[in-house]
Structure 1
Amino acid sequence: MVTNKLITLLPDLATFIVVVNEGSFTAAAKKLGVTPSALSKLITRLENALSVKLFERTTRSLLITESGKKIYQQSVIMVEAAQQAVDISSSEHTVPSGSLTVAAPKAFLTIVLQPLITPFLTKYPKIQLKLRASDGDIDMIAQGIDVVFRLTDKPTEGLVMKEIGKVNLSLCASPTYLEERGIPHLPQELANHDCLFLGETTTDHIWEFVKGTESHVIAVSGRYAVNHSQMRLNGVKDGFGIGIFPDFVIKEALANNEVISVLSDWQIKGNYHGVIAMQYAQNKYIPSRLKVFTEFVKENLMKSKVNDERT
């Protein structure tokens, strides 16, 4: 039942969404054409009406609370439902439009998604696409993300998940390096080699190998560590050692014989290993821009996979 209180809250909830998406009162106020102080008062009024704290405010940051995240999720559903009503009444509702924010790991975004962007934007000229390269944990609500791509064996629970492929970790080295240092045939032999790893954490130089019932955990070392896939691959090509990569990163280099696969009969476990998961929030009302994007990506990546299998 629609009550007077609910009718009063609806505009404030819609404004609350803008504040969350923009990340600050100043940015949200600029987008809405109001003053930051007026916007702050509106949020305070909404907090009082809901009897809940939506943000933790400091002089330098604006952080959404756990209660705020839950209210944001429901508010988004509300606005999307309203958008559906507008679409139905519009003669242009069949044309996908609006803004879509997509996050993905840097290497996946650059190598896999980038070739699809121009064809997608050309096909859907009324969609505004925002891409964010992120290798860390992503809070979809706080960061205003519509779709996130994860390379993982543990997709995030509570989100819609479409598997659009699989990704494995692979080792490779340059022909020159292997000629000089020898080819390792067992994971334990990596201890005698220079290895390139991410250098992001204190444990990403520890590699886990599995083959059947046999497993080994090896602490590798080397002169060069970098958390940029292309720079790390260039280091491998230049002979600095054996590198670890998602398989799509080294596909072209392998085909061109610039690098050689190492320990390919072993499965390597770690970050960026498992399925390619395309995830978005559960919602009864799926915006057409989100629907066409996910369908476009899945169709083109599956088509690419079929072509790869034929070659």
Structure 2
Amino acid sequence: MFSQKLIALLPDLASYILVVNEGSFTAAAKKLGVTPSALSKTITRLESALSVKLFERTTRKLVITQAGQKVYDQSVLMVNAAQQAVEVSQSDHAEPSGSITVAAPEAFLNSVLQPFIAPFLQQYPEIQLKVRAIDGDYDLLNLGIDVAFKLTDTPDENLVMKELGPTNLVLCASPDYIRDNGLPTSPSDLEYHDCLYLAEVDRDNIWDFLKDDDFHTVTVAGRYAINHSQMRLSGVKQGLGIGIFHDFVIKESLDDGSVIPVLPDWTIKSNYHGAIALQYAQTKYMPARLRVFIDYVARELPSKLIK
């Protein structure tokens, strides 16, 4: 089933993964307990065996080649599978343990996921959570993410998805701002208002609205743009303009009247609306620690979401 050549390459492939992850031979060699020159010879031997160039070496940094990226992606799958084989052999007689790396958008972490972290860790004292705030699109495999929460209507088809519930975007402003500037009655009115937007990419100030078959795109402007949801919400409450928020971020402020909805009959279209999706790589042998985390979130979180 396995050739001797392949078996001989396995340690070199594992070393290669570490070099890519660490970004240098020096850092990877330190973790492996070898010299940088010895590790460099290992990678050269691997390149010769595979007949590909894995890195473009410069005096300042390592740049992975296109072929090197493909080798890396497959090698990570191999090492993960080996790790899972070890874990599954222990899962029947040990409490779930080990590290889980979780990624989620900043707003979702603050408003929804944060209250579940401590109870989960208290229930499973042998598990460690590494939580990373990541917005936008990204590759779980390359970032070493075990499970990701994504707010999207186009989940990654290459990953397993558990839909935890829907999420919608809400346009709102403070009562004082509306009193002083008037209430917009159509998306085009927003051109004459101060609007708070993310300012992460060029299109963040272009907002799309849909009502029945009526579609409007409007370019907004304002004196304050920020990609931190709570700071943006604070700006809206202080009368700096009109902003867009996920329903789970704005619910409490809507309930207490510190903000009021704007154009509530219109649906805001965005890459960040649709489903709250829990995504992770397909695997035959899922580590026990990951299984209990996914089960815990899928059981506890939906009941806390806005219906």
**TM-score normalised by structure 2 residue count:** 0.90
Contact kept, 8 Å, 1:80 with 1:287, in 2: the verdict is no
Amino acid at match of 1:150: K
Partner Cα separation in structure 2 for residue 69 and residue 289 of structure 1: 28
* Post-superposition offset of 1:93: 4.8
2:273 partner amino acid: H
Q: How does 1:25-44 map to 2 (within 5 A)?
A: 25-44=25-44
The offset of 1:101, in angstroms, is 1.8
Which stretch shows the higher mean deviation, 157-166 or 91-100? 91-100
- Deviation of 1:263 after TM superposition, in Å, equals 1.0
Q: Which runs of 5+ in 1 are unaligned?
A: none
Match of 1:8 in 2: 8
Counterparts of residues 131-150 of structure 1 (less than 5 Å): 131-150=131-150
Residue 22 (str. 1) matches residue 22 (str. 2): yes
Quote how far apart the aligned CAs of 1:89 are. Answer: 4.6
Q: Is 1:49 aligned with 2:42?
A: no
Matches of 1:75 and 1:281, distance apart in 2: 15
CA contact (8 A) 1:161 1:278 kept: yes
Q: 1:257 to 1:91 in 2, by over 3 A?
A: closer
8 Å CA contact 1:80–1:285 kept in 2: the answer is no
Aligned residues: 307
Cα distance in 1 between the residues matched to 2:109 and 2:97: 22
Q: SS where residue 6 of structure 1 aligns? A: helix
Amino acid at match of 2:266: W
After TM superposition, the structure 1 = structure 2 runs for residues 102-251 of structure 1, keeping only pairs within 5 Å, are: 102-251=102-251
Query: 2: CA distance between counterparts of 1:61 and 1:26?
Result: 11
- Cα deviation per residue 1:63-83 (whole Å; 9 max; x = unaligned)? 444444443343334334433
Is contact 1:72–1:141 with CA below 8 Å preserved after alignment? no
* Contact residue 103 and residue 133 of structure 2 kept, 8 A: yes
Q: Is the 8 A contact 1:21 1:144 kept in 2?
A: no
| Partner SS, residue 203 of structure 1 | helix
* Offset, 1:298: 1.8
Q: Give the 3 Å change call, closer, same or farther, for CA 90–199 of structure 1 in structure 2.
A: closer
Contact 2:88 2:287 (8 Å CA) reproduced: no
Distance in 1 between residues matched to 2:161 and 2:67, nearest whole Å: 24
Question: Where does the alignment leave 5 or more consecutive residues of structure 2 unmatched?
Answer: none
On the 8 A contact 1:87/1:93 being kept in 2, the answer is no
Question: Which residue in 2 is equivalent to 1:259?
Answer: 259
Contact 1:54 1:67 in 2 (8 A): yes
Query: Partner letter of residue 174 of structure 1?
Result: S
**In structure 2, C-alpha distance between the alignment counterparts of 1:226 and 1:81, rounded to whole Å:** 41
Contact 1:211/1:266, CA 8 A, preserved across alignment: yes
In structure 2, the CA distance between the partners of 1:135 and 1:80, relative to structure 1 (3 Å rule), is closer
Secondary structure of 1:130 counterpart: strand
CA contact (8 A) 1:205 1:219 kept: yes
SS at 1:276 equivalent: strand
Q: 1:129 to 1:203 in 2, by over 3 A?
A: same
Identity of aligned residues (%): 64
State the Cα deviation string for residues 201-247 of structure 1 (Å, max 9, x = none): 22211111101111111111211111111111000000011111122
Going from structure 1 to structure 2, the CA distance change for 1:135 and 1:81 (only over 3 Å counts) comes to closer
Instruction: Note closer, same or farther for the CA distance 1:89–1:262 as it changes in structure 2 (3 Å cut).
Output: closer
Q: Distance in 2 between matches of 1:143 and 1:294?
A: 19
Superimposed CA distance per residue, residues 13-39 of structure 1 (whole angstroms, 9 cap, x where no aligned partner): 223333333343333223222233322
Alpha-carbon distance between aligned partners in 2 of 1:220 and 1:198, rounded to the nearest angstrom: 11
CA contact (8 A) 2:87 2:287 kept: no
Q: TM-score with structure 1 length normalisation? A: 0.89
Q: Which residue of structure 1 lines up, in the alignment, with residue 76 of structure 2?
A: 76
Q: SS of the counterpart of 2:148?
A: strand
- In the alignment, the residues of structure 2 paired with residue 126 and residue 57 of structure 1 have an alpha-carbon distance, to the nearest angstrom, of 41
Pairwise CA RMSD? 2.3
Alpha-carbon separation, structure 2, partners of 1:223 and 1:148? 33
Deviation at 1:283, TM superposition (A): 2.3
149 and 84 in structure 1: CA distance in 2 versus 1, 3 angstrom threshold: closer
In the alignment, is the contact (CA less than 8 A) between 1:150 and 1:276 conserved in 2?
Answer: yes
